[in-house]
Amino acid sequence: MNKKKWLRVALIITAVALYRVYTYVHHIQTGCMQVGAHQRCRFENAANFEGLLHVDLLFTCGWVAGAILCWLAFMWSRKKGD
């Protein structure tokens, strides 16, 4: 891919990663998260909520890692001169 495409992909994935980080922090602060059509809260079942929070953290880290890799690919394409 050329530089322009890598930049677009990096910006889109970075935006999604930032949104995922925001929602993860929001879930921690409020103690509730929306799962499908149901709202799960910490006070209802703490173990279940913590498990869902760990899964959410896993997906958040995946999006952040993807954004970092896209930015690295963009920088490599700039250096390579495609």
Separation between Cα atoms, residue 66 and residue 6, nearest integer Å? 12
The closest alpha carbon to 10, from 80, 73, 60, belongs to: 73
pLDDT in tens, 31-76: 888 888 888 888 888 888 888 899 999 999 999 999 999 999 888 8
pLDDT band at 1 (very low <50, low <70, confident <90, very high): low
> What pLDDT does 82 receive?
53
Report the 10 Å Cβ neighbour count for 53. 17
Separation between Cα atoms, residue 47 and residue 37, nearest integer Å? 20
Report the 10 Å Cβ neighbour count for 15. 12
